[in-house]
Amino acid sequence: MMITPKKDPMGAAIADFHRLGKAARLRVFSPDFDEDEIPVATLFRSFEEMPTLEQQALQMARGRILDVGAGAGCHSLCLQEMGQTVTAIDISPLAVETMTARGVHDARQQDFWSVEERYDTILMLMNGIGIVGSLNELPHFFHHLQQLLADGGQLLLDSSDICYLFEDEEGIIELPGGTYYGELEYQMQYKSIKGDAFPWLYIDFETLADSATTHGFTAELIQMGDHYDYLARIVKQGK
């Protein structure tokens, strides 16, 4: 799946911010929650401005690196400065254009699911695993990861256990029944550009680790963040 500029609100926001140093509101809608907003400037964060979890991930990256859903390229640019070799992919044409203009040497408009080369490190930061959409897709995801990772290769990702969204005034968490509570639906809008709705997964570490193990990987909790977030490493077993 690839998106066109007409349906690329995030890309338009990124391109505006790059050109003008500011952007309008990047709005996020979800049937489950009140309207929200992504501060566009945060997509342009420097190493110093990044959360510790992300800094840690960048320091652990090695070998041939793939930055999945690279956005404005903040992580790829840091890695280049650290002397690393990185390929940045994004389905947004405007994001890719902006990354190239900002100096990302190898930025490609490509869908994660169609990547065929192998990498030693795959980065999915800022909840990049969101693109998996639902728990049902995890087997498909791990199967693809098996193809993408070189032997001993690693996936570094951060996500959140969003159980806190279901906390009442007394601090008691009551999770909804039915589908997994981390499966959200999002839609974004920038100025008059509205994207299609898409599924977006947040996953708690336990659930992620169980699935990783089932599919022949090892999962390691590297670090906990301040608010139900974490950095994990998924390693492909050698033969």
Can residue 74 be called a binding residue for ligand SAH (CB under 6 A)?
A: yes
Can residue 23 be called a binding residue for ligand SAH (CB under 6 A)?
A: no
Shortest spacing between CB 48 and ligand SAH, in angstroms = 15
Tokens of 91: 């389905």
Shortest spacing between CB 105 and ligand SAH, in angstroms = 17
Residue 103 or 176 having the CB closest to ligand SAH: 103
CA distance 228 to 191: 32
Shortest spacing between CB 8 and ligand SAH, in angstroms = 8
In degrees rounded to 5, what are phi and psi of residue 217? -115, 165
Residue 114 or 214 having the CB closest to ligand SAH: 114
Chain residues 121-160 in contact with ligand SAH, contact rule CB under 6 A:
125-126, 128, 131
Residue 57 or 208 having the CB closest to ligand SAH: 57
Q: Are the CB atoms for 90 and 69 separated by under 8 Å?
A: yes
* Cα 162 → chain centroid: 15
Q: Are the CB atoms for 217 and 145 separated by under 8 Å?
A: yes
Chain residues 172-231 in contact with ligand SAH, contact rule CB under 6 A:
none
- What phi-psi label fits residue 171: left (phi over 0), alpha (psi between -120 and 50 degrees) or beta? left
